[in-house]
Structure 1
């Protein structure tokens, strides 16, 4: 025998308001409002470091030439830093100059198709003056 499904009871606004009020009162009981703050005397206090980009902290320190050279060296691209590739991924595209001159009028590499079956057919139909194939 199968049981009958229970109908869901949708509470009206009065019951929903009562549930929210009880929830609100429970939260108020557990919260504590702190207005006086102090440092824990049992905890060690750490000094706060200086901000690296602040202008008043960096006035006293002279510029370190070795550090600046290192920063400029790392900012360069890999082709300027190294004479050869350092990884296998750098090998792709390392040599930018083409091995053969890529000029369009060089007949060794550029084999343009001047005429084919379709172009010959179209040239003959135009030569005959057939207006159907325009």
Structure 2
């Protein structure tokens, strides 16, 4: 018995046009048209110089000042921008000033590094061992 071949679909111009129409409808359904554009104030801005023969007016300076103020405000750290933390993550470390002033002369709170005879000996032995290891 001979194997039966499946029928091949013939794609003509009408079917191709129907596929294109369906694809375009799907794209237009999910597409948004943006007509207003703004610069993100949180990104770093690299200004370019003016044209050498260009002339500035007073109105441009006012607009430039407001624009530069928005840019500078976007680059500030959160503690300078806001009076209180905006997120829970900002609450950690928001108040970074120490609660008490550290006094180095107070022996109750300050424990400087101290060495006894055995720690001095072991420190010297450790350094000697490191020197011989680096030479070999």
TM-score by length of 1: 0.36
Greater relative contact order (Cα < 8 A, sep 6+): 2
Structure 1 or 2: larger helix share? 2
